[in-house]
Amino acid sequence: MTRTNSTPQNMAFWPTLRADLRNTFGDAKRTGYRRTISQTLDGLESYYLPDSRRRELAGMNAFRRFFYRCWWLFKALFYKLAPGRRVLLLIGLLAVTMSYGRGGPQAEGSWGIIGVACVLLVLMLELREKLVARDELAEGRAIQQALLPKTTPSIPGFEIWLDTTPANDVGGDIVDVLQAEDGRSFVLLGDVAGKGLGAALLAARLQATFRALAPDASSLEQLGDRLNRIFHRDGPSNRFATAVAIAVRPGETELRLLNAGHPPPLLIRDGRAEPLAGGGPAFGIVSGAHYTEQAVTLRKGDTLVVYSDGVTEAMNSTGEFFGDERLLSTLLALAGSPPAEIGRGIQQAVRAFEGGERPHDDLSLILIRAA
């Protein structure tokens, strides 16, 4: 496979640098310089330092915290490098230190050049691997997008809207609609535990299994039992997936619904939002689990809202969750609106609550309204 460099080589250096400085300082000014620095340090700490170290830092005064934070972050970075790069980094740092010695200006300048060259070489090697991984994730994201329904699906008697937004380049949530040859329509929202590439691969596997089994399943109960058995048999022991599957027969206003450990869907009716009953365990936890479907009859104007926990567990800068109450108040404010307007309203409310913070989880929604 041929890889292409995502940065054109013929870009003018100085205009690019000026634009980067302008954009960087402009973003920092909008967010606030103190908050930008704080978010950057918090992001580094959350990735490099375990919770025990972070708790220790929180208990220190500012002067002591600064030095311990620098030392612990350096050690964490050092140990994540390959052995050869650790040696190269040490040589570079020693050379930079020696450039401040007493060997005369020429000797000091030589050591400084050697030190900077070694550090830049380590940076280039690490950046190369990051760019390769980024290209692979971009390809994975493109494949995930290709697996989503190309257009808003049509189910006779209902309006439907669905969307999924991954927190990272690829996500562990799936939304899908499948129409079988016998006229039945199947809708799925699944959420694989975890994030990143591993969760995305398992989500794609769950979607493929769902598409293979749903058309021949006599009921959602049978479909749930088979999905769980296969996911438990073939998936990693520490992974599971929650899901809501919905089946609609042509000409009927009754939905058949199966819940596998997922947040209960909400039914908007007569200006109220009521959660439906829970269901069985998540797929992959219990090998012999049995699932029971429930019937939900939608009257004209009723809307069923299925959502992932990326909605209610979205967090702001203080660590507060968006929560069920905010979701309910958002739904009540939008009750009676078309599904697309309600769905986008939920997304906007969550993003406004996060206040520019990086999302912690994928956000997925399916809304079905009786026409």
How crowded is residue 66: how many other Cβ atoms within 10 Å of its Cβ? 12
Structure tokens that stand for 179 in this block: 């129409």
Higher pLDDT, 138 or 80: 80
Asked, for residue 7, whether it belongs to a domain, the answer is no
Residues 18 and 139 in one domain: yes
Which DSSP helix (H) or strand (E) runs through 331?
helix 323-334
Rounded to an integer, the average pLDDT of 282-294 is 91
Rounded to an integer, the average pLDDT of 165-177 is 84
Return the CATH number at 173: 3.60.40.10
| Predicted pLDDT of residue 147 | 66
Asked, for residue 18, whether it belongs to a domain, the answer is yes
Rounded to an integer, the average pLDDT of 146-172 is 80
Single out the residue in 92, 119, 143 at which a domain terminates. 143
| Predicted pLDDT of residue 108 | 64
Can you spell out the DSSP letters for 183-223?
S-EEEEEEEESS-HHHHHHHHHHHHHHHHHHGGG-SSHHHH
Q: Is the separation of the CB atoms in 311 and 327 below 8 Å?
A: yes
| Predicted pLDDT of residue 9 | 54
> Residue 140, CB half-sphere, CA atoms under 13 Å: how many?
21
Asked, for residue 6, whether it belongs to a domain, the answer is no
Rounded to an integer, the average pLDDT of 51-57 is 90
Query: What is the residue range of 174's domain?
Result: 148-370
| Predicted pLDDT of residue 140 | 65
Q: Residue 66's closest CA among 45, 96, 48, 89? A: 45
| Predicted pLDDT of residue 198 | 80
Structure tokens that stand for 115 in this block: 């030190």
Provide the mean pLDDT of the chain.
Answer: 86
| Predicted pLDDT of residue 102 | 57
Asked, for residue 4, whether it belongs to a domain, the answer is no
Residues 77 and 172 in one domain: no
Structure tokens that stand for 313 in this block: 């567990």
Confidence band, pLDDT 50/70/90 cuts, at residue 137: low
Whole-number percent of the chain with pLDDT over 70: 91
Using a cut of 0.85, tell me whether the model's pTM lies above it: no
∠ Cα 299 305 309 (to 5°)? 160
Residues 307 and 184 in one domain: yes
pLDDT tens column, 250-285 = 878 889 999 999 999 999 998 888 999 878 899 999
| Predicted pLDDT of residue 101 | 66
Residues 186 and 236 in one domain: yes
Structure tokens that stand for 271 in this block: 């200006």
Single out the residue in 143, 178, 194 at which a domain terminates. 143
| Predicted pLDDT of residue 365 | 95
Q: Is the separation of the CB atoms in 275 and 266 below 8 Å?
A: yes
Higher pLDDT, 109 or 121: 121
Higher pLDDT, 214 or 142: 214
Rounded to an integer, the average pLDDT of 150-159 is 79
Which region among 43-57, 146-160, 220-234, 304-318 has the lowest average model confidence (pLDDT)?
A: 146-160
Asked, for residue 77, whether it belongs to a domain, the answer is yes
Q: Residue 122's closest CA among 82, 95, 71? A: 82
Residues 86 and 153 in one domain: no
Asked, for residue 3, whether it belongs to a domain, the answer is no
Residues 220 and 78 in one domain: no
Residues 139 and 159 in one domain: no
How crowded is residue 114: how many other Cβ atoms within 10 Å of its Cβ? 17
- Give me the number of domains the chain comprises: 2
> CA-CA distance, 150 to 148, in Å (whole number)?
6
Per DSSP, 283 falls in state B
> CA-CA distance, 12 to 1, in Å (whole number)?
29
| Exposure string for 124-137, b = 16+ CB within 10 A, e = fewer | eeeeeeeeeeeeeb
Structure tokens that stand for 54 in this block: 């972070």
Which DSSP helix (H) or strand (E) runs through 369?
strand 363-370
Residues 89 and 18 in one domain: yes
CA Rg value for the chain:
26
Residues 119 and 198 in one domain: no
| Predicted pLDDT of residue 10 | 54
Asked, for residue 5, whether it belongs to a domain, the answer is no
Residues 131 and 213 in one domain: no
Whole-number percent of the chain with pLDDT over 90: 44
> Residue 117, CB half-sphere, CA atoms under 13 Å: how many?
7
pLDDT tens column, 192-243 = 987 777 888 888 889 989 999 999 999 999 999 999 999 998 878 788 999 9
Single out the residue in 87, 120, 143 at which a domain terminates. 143
Query: Residue 251 class from Cβ within 10 Å (0-12 exposed, 13-18 middle, 19+ buried)?
Result: exposed
Q: What is the greatest pairwise CA distance in the chain?
A: 90
Asked, for residue 1, whether it belongs to a domain, the answer is no
Residues 192 and 174 in one domain: yes
| Predicted pLDDT of residue 308 | 93
Q: Assess whether pLDDT exceeds 80 at residue 169.
A: no
Structure tokens that stand for 83 in this block: 């052995």
Residues 364 and 217 in one domain: yes
Q: Assess whether pLDDT exceeds 60 at residue 1.
A: no
Instruction: Map residue 182 onto helix, strand or coil.
Output: coil
